[in-house]
Each structure stands twice: as structure tokens, then as C-alpha cells.
Structure 1
Amino acid sequence: MIKQLKDFKIGFDNSFYGTGRRKESVARVWLVRDTNKQIVKVKNTQKEYNLRDYVQRETLYYKVLYPLKLTGLEGKFGIYATVEGGGISAQAEAIMYGIAKAILKYNPEFRQTLKKAGLLTRDAREKERKKYGLMKARKAYRWSKR
């Protein structure tokens, strides 16, 4: 089964898949051989962007590519990611986690390197729910004695 996505041909023989999550964001990431394009597709708008343009900040861009740099695979794979939920920062971290998982599918020997860098541990911090009687999760209304 080969899917034609704009400039990518994603099939079982030339791509590796990983899912990344962070806060409310979910990223489905494919590492594609024989290309160096980096495309992000936003689920709710169905628009495709260049990865560097989508994450906007250089620090986030380098954070997304960190797993590839760490394993020495920079420039060997193209990235195709679909993202939904959360903000740009959380989506960027979700893409990073997805890339790390896809690298494991490519070569399980990188597990030790990625684990030591903390790229296989999902950041479980979520937004705390709002409680009744309070303005937000912990912020209370101003108290007045009289």
C-alpha cells in the first residue's frame, strides 16, 4: 500500500512511523527515505507547511530535529507529520517524540542513546482541571471579610 502525499510516497518499504504526544497535542510522524523535505500537515485546516515555517522559532526547530542529530541520521530522512490539538510548542515536542519512536522502528540499537537523552519518556504533565467554586484550577475569587 503506497500513499501519495504531495511530494512523498509513503509505503512499508521506505518509511518508518511513530506517534508522539505532549499536553493536548498528537503528532503522527513518518520518516521517509530518499528525500529531505520536512512537511507538517495540520489536521483541522488540512493545510501543509514546511516544518521550519510552521514551528516559527529556531529553538523549537532544533528541538524537533534533536533525535535525528543525536543518532547521526540528520539529512538521511524526510519528515512528514500530521498534528492536531494544543499549541505550536506542544505540537513541536510531540513531533520530536514521534521522530524518536520512528527512529526506533528504523534501528532498535539507538534505544540506549535516545533513552539516555530522555526522548523516549513521554512528558506526562497535563493541564489541571478546573474545580467548582474557583476561578481556575487553583486560583480563587478575591476574599473580602466585609
Structure 2
Amino acid sequence: MEVINALGRRKRAIARIYVSEGTGKITINKIDISQYFPSSILQYVVKQPLNTLSVAEKYDIKVNTYGGGFTGQSQAVRLAIARALVKINPEDKPALRAEGFMT
């Protein structure tokens, strides 16, 4: 699988992500997700689309995000991940839309 990229925006936050096959590692601005978002709630928000489709351990995700606050950034990352998952498998779009992850 080639690298899939996607963009997500929320309020003033912008997130660009790059998805590749892997083991489920998520890095945000070259920092592990647990260090960038120390709050477990924000980590949960980022991982929601992956957990909805049960593919959390299937992809490695690299994120570049800037602008806004931590909550806006986490929601921008969530949207970008949902968009990337739809690029990988368009049949997943109804499930992600039903959960409110697609705009």
C-alpha cells in the first residue's frame, strides 16, 4: 500500500496526515500521541474512526498539525483520519458518517 494523505480542519486547527501500513503507531508533530495529547480524552477522540472500523492496529499514522488549541487539533486529526480511511476503502464512508466523523 502506498502512503495515503488527507487533510482535516476544525476551527483554526489544520491537520495533514500520512497513513501507511504498520502496527498502529500514531505520531503527531514527530512526537508520540501520548506525549502530544497527554489527556486520554483527546487521544480517544483521535482514535475514534480507527476504533469504529476496528483497524487501530493496522495502520501507522504521521500527523502534522498547527493552529488552534489541543481540542481543535484533535478533532482536525479525527476528520483527516476518517477521510484517509475513506480513500483506502470507500465502502467505510456510511459507517463513519453515521458516527459523525465525516462532514
TM range (shorter): over 0.9
- Please report the TM-score for the alignment, with normalisation by the length of structure 1: 0.67
For 1:103-114, what aligned pairs fall within 5 Å after superposition? 103-114=85-96
Larger radius of gyration: 1
Name structure 2 gaps, 5 residues minimum.
none
CA distance in 2 between partners of 1:101 and 1:95 (Å): 10
1:89 to 2:77 alignment: no
Aligned mate of 1:66, from 44, 48, 53? 48
Aligned mate of 1:80, from 62, 65, 88? 62
Correspondence for 2:81: 99
CA distance in 1 between partners of 2:94 and 2:39 (Å): 29
* Greater relative contact order, per chain length (Cα 8 Å cut-off, separation 6+): 2
1:30 to 2:18 alignment: yes
Aligned mate of 2:28, from 16, 40, 65? 40
Q: What is the aligned-residue identity percentage? A: 30
Cα deviation, 1:46-70, whole Å, max 9, x if unaligned, reads: xx21012101100110110000000
Correspondence for 1:116: 98
Q: Which runs of 4+ in 1 moved over 4 A?
A: none
CA distance in 2 between partners of 1:116 and 1:40 (Å): 26
- More helix, by proportion: 2
Cα RMSD for the two superposed structures: 1.1
CA distance in 1 between partners of 2:6 and 2:50 (Å): 13
CA distance in 2 between partners of 1:29 and 1:62 (Å): 17
Q: How many residues align?
A: 103
- Please report the TM-score for the alignment, with normalisation by the length of structure 2: 0.94
